[in-house]
């Protein structure tokens, strides 16, 4: 039972890490665009 709890906890951390990486990539992509329009409203997770 203890191994199952550790596995579930690790899986939850991996999902959050993946989500954070995705958000950081989206933010980086938006900030590196050459458009003149403000990007603040598009950065909404």
**Which tens digit of pLDDT belongs to each residue from 4-44?**
877 777 777 888 899 999 999 988 988 888 877 776 666 76
Tokens read off for 29: 């992509």
Distance from C-alpha of 39 to C-alpha of 44, rounded to nearest angstrom: 10
Tokens read off for 5: 């709890």
Predicted TM-score (pTM) of this structure: 0.59
């Amino acid at each position: 039972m203890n191994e199952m709890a550790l596995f579930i906890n690790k899986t939850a951390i991996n999902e959050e890490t993946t989500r954070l990486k995705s958000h950081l990539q989206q933010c980086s992509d938006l900030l590196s665009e050459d458009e003149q329009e403000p990007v603040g409203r598009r950065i909404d997770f």
